[in-house]
A = this chain, B = another copy of it.
């Protein structure tokens, strides 16, 4: 079919009538489908049945140093958990602090501590007239929500397939001392599923921040979340690169097992330089006696090592890969050549990023909702929920069944077509 933009007004009106009939048919099904959040499906959760058997009443609950995990103590986690997450994080275990169940909470706390007490002796950010964060867009809504909550000014940085626009990043970071941070999901990014290039990582590592308490918030949420065995993105390790430039204190790396075992019942970590680790622990000691060591032990006994995690991730991939491929197949079948939308084919992560014609995203999400398909709110992938072009939509295909995904994706493409026709008709 030819591009919609080349259709005459009459053709568009006729097309709209056809689409409205199809839309109503779908609406009449009274479906209740959800492609809004990056949640694992039940089949994925079943992969961690063994986690619930890793410990029982007869288990030895001591860590490898003989510390009783049942009792108080251990601000930064047990050694075997540090070692396991250090492997995933590609740093040495002395650069790891293990935390509780939510890496979002760890990131929130990291910003909160900087607000109230500064970083490594710097002025608390709450005492400064303005603090800014760079936000590669589109990006993760919950990152932006944290910085908005703390009144931090957010600056959009456009993303490409190679990562954020590094000219802009360098310009801001190296010259503006009110710029204190940048949110990054460097591998299988949320929502694009793209991975920062080696060149991008090297330019991050070589930044010369105007603010000595500038930090890269490197949320490596999808570090091992490949969709394919043979086609896997590789991310250059940032800390080692930063060290080469004497920049090791500039990086906070975050990771969690949320999408490996059970979301909300996993373990999480920060990986950072020794100076940062010491700084965090000095403050953390006022907040808690320590995170849940029994749950750390449970995870280590279940996985044993990095190979255990990798084996688990292959099983996840086998479950979710067909869902991604189904969405991509339908996008291609229904929208190719129409020039009313573009999308990225990710090799990992949890999302497919779709870009509609300008000004159509909100309408598409609204139409989908009214036909029983809940999508992430349009604008959610931008700071302040303001997508300047109103075009980006995040598709989360993991939670529904394959049949539901098929149905939801077909409804989605009808909504894309309908909203695009409406838009083109307005312009005629």
Q: Which residues on the B side are within 8 Å of A146 (C-beta)?
A: 286-287
Residue of B nearest to A113 (CB): B112
Report the minimum CB–CB distance from A133 to chain B (whole Å).
14
Instruction: Decide if A290 is an interface residue (CB 8 Å cutoff).
Output: yes
Given contacts A56-B56, A288-B108, contact A71 B116 (CB under 8 A): no
Contact partner of A101 among B52, B73, B292, CB < 8 A? Answer: B292
Q: Are B52 and A68 interface neighbours, CB within 8 A?
A: no
Instruction: Decide if A331 is an interface residue (CB 8 Å cutoff).
Output: no
Of the stretches A17-25, A215-223, A257-265, the one at the interface is A257-265
Which residues of chain A from 41 to 92 have any CB-CB distance to chain B below 8 Å in the complex?
A: 42, 45, 48-53, 55-59, 61, 68-74
Residue of B nearest to A258 (CB): B72
Q: Which residues on the B side are within 8 Å of A70 (C-beta)?
A: 45, 48, 262-265
Given contacts A56-B56, A149-B283, A149-B286, contact A40 B71 (CB under 8 A): yes
Q: Are A287 and B57 interface neighbours, CB within 8 A?
A: no
A104 vs B290: C-alpha distance when bound (angstroms): 10
Instruction: Decide if A115 is an interface residue (CB 8 Å cutoff).
Output: yes
Instruction: Decide if A105 is an interface residue (CB 8 Å cutoff).
Output: yes
Instruction: Decide if A381 is an interface residue (CB 8 Å cutoff).
Output: no
A74 vs B264: C-alpha distance when bound (angstroms): 9
Report the minimum CB–CB distance from A170 to chain B (whole Å).
30
Instruction: Decide if A208 is an interface residue (CB 8 Å cutoff).
Output: no
Which residues of chain A from 96 to 121 have any CB-CB distance to chain B below 8 Å in the complex?
A: 100-102, 104-105, 108-109, 112, 115-117
14 contacts between A and B (CB under 8 A): A48-B70, A49-B57, A52-B56, A70-B262, A70-B263, A105-B288, A109-B287, A117-B149, A142-B286, A149-B286, A264-B291, A265-B293, A265-B295, A292-B295
Q: Interface of A with B (CB < 8 Å)?
A: 37, 39-40, 42, 45, 48-53, 55-59, 61, 68-74, 100-102, 104-105, 108-109, 112, 115-117, 126, 142, 145-146, 149-150, 258, 262-265, 283, 286-295
